[in-house]
């Protein structure tokens, strides 16, 4: 057919462990179809390949040689990849983690769209939510991105709680230099900080099918708190169920996964995708 090959085409991939059920490839491919571009999204599953993060240098070299335009990066490679890249965006540098790599003219630039995913989801679904005092549970890789997003959204006082105090301190130290002093701190007394909070964010894996439970006792929830979640498998976690039963405003973790994807797509292609296509595709893949 004439003109078939004049469409821009892109080859991208996802590197990580246990990514067989990832919704990212179908979301990207559906958005590309809607935008009228050719787009092939390959899963490079370290579990299936029986490899660990130590294989990253080889995989990146192969991706470059095979003409990949970009890569998404997930667990356990988001930090291991840092020294292997030619350049980091300011956001990736601030967070010390990369989830998106753009490959241009043989150069690899690392970006972090996780924080954007959380912020965009919050902006769309929590308009007018009070941002005075917020308590975040979890200080892992996702936790750093979520904390960065919350401070960018305008949270005045962010308290980070993690069972590993050193991890919480490391997120606080990493972000303190970039925001007004005193806006982010480590917390330990859950009861006290929850009582004074406007909102609660779960950035831990607690609530996933394999880590059942809630990050804080549900007795500490109250109707005037808002609750945000990053877990999206299942979409309704025990925390969200308890919060909704009380009448709290809530936002689930699906949007973070969707909007980190829309921003990665834009970085890969230079085209802003239709977010509704991402939303619809995500929903069609089950809750």
pLDDT digits (tens, 9 = 90+) for 197-253: 999 999 999 999 999 999 999 999 999 999 999 999 899 999 999 999 999 999 999
Neighbours of 128 (CB within 10 A): 6
Q: How confident is the model at residue 154 (pLDDT cuts 50, 70, 90)?
A: very high
DSSP state letter for 233 = S
Q: What is the pLDDT of residues 107-146, one digit of tens each?
A: 999 999 999 999 999 999 999 999 999 999 999 889 999 9
User: Is residue 4 scored above 80 in pLDDT?
Assistant: no
Catalytic residues: 78
- Residue 2 pLDDT: 52
User: Is residue 1 scored above 60 in pLDDT?
Assistant: no
- Residue 181 pLDDT: 86
- In 3D space, the residue among 251, 240, 227 whose CA is nearest the CA of residue 117 turns out to be 251
Specify the pTM: 0.93
Contact 252, 240 (CB under 8 A): yes
Q: What percent of the chain has pLDDT over 90?
A: 94
- Residue 158 pLDDT: 98
Q: What is the pLDDT of residues 30-64, one digit of tens each?
A: 999 999 999 999 999 999 999 999 999 999 999 99
- Residue 7 pLDDT: 86
Region of 19 on the Ramachandran plot (φ > 0 left; ψ -120 to 50 alpha; else beta) = alpha
Copy the structure tokens of residue 111: 């970006």
**What is each CA distance from 39 to 14, 151, 226, in whole angstroms?**
13, 35, 38
Q: In 1-126, which ranges are continuous DSSP H helix?
A: 24-35, 46-49, 56-65, 90-95, 114-125
Q: How confident is the model at residue 95 (pLDDT cuts 50, 70, 90)?
A: very high
E-strand ranges in 62-212 read: 70-73, 87-88, 100-104, 107-111, 133-137, 157-161, 184-186, 199-202
The C-alpha atoms of residue 238 and residue 220 are separated, in whole angstroms, by 14
- Residue 79 pLDDT: 92
């Amino acid at each position: 057919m004439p003109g078939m090959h004049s469409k821009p085409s892109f080859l991208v991939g996802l590197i990580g462990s246990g990514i067989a059920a990832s919704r990212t490839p179908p979301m990207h491919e559906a958005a590309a179809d809607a935008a009228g571009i050719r787009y092939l999204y390959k899963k490079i599953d370290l579990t299936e390949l029986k490899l660990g993060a130590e294989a990253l240098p080889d995989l990146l070299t192969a991706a470059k040689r095979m003409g990949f335009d970009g890569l998404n990066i997930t667990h356990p490679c988001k930090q291991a990849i840092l020294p292997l890249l030619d350049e980091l965006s300011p956001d990736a540098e601030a967070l010390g983690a990369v989830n998106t790599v753009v490959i241009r003219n043989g150069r690899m630039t690392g970006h972090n769209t996780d924080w954007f995913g959380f912020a965009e989801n919050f902006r769309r679904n929590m308009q007018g939510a009070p941002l005075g005092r917020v308590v975040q549970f979890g200080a892992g890789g996702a936790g750093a991105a979520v904390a960065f997003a919350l401070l960018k959204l305008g949270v005045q006082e962010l308290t980070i709680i993690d069972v590993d105090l050193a991890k919480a301190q490391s997120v606080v130290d990493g972000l303190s230099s970039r925001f007004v002093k005193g806006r982010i701190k480590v917390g330990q007394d859950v009861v006290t900080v929850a009582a004074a909070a406007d909102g609660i964010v779960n950035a831990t894996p607690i609530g996933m099918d394999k880590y059942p439970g809630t990050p804080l006792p549900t007795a500490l929830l109250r109707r005037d708190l808002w609750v945000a979640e990053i877990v999206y498998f299942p979409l309704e976690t025990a925390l969200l169920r308890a919060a909704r039963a009380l009448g709290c405003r809530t936002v689930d973790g699906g949007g973070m996964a969707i909007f980190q994807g829309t921003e990665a797509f834009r970085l890969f292609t230079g085209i802003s995708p239709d977010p509704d296509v991402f939303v619809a595709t995500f929903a069609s893949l089950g809750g």
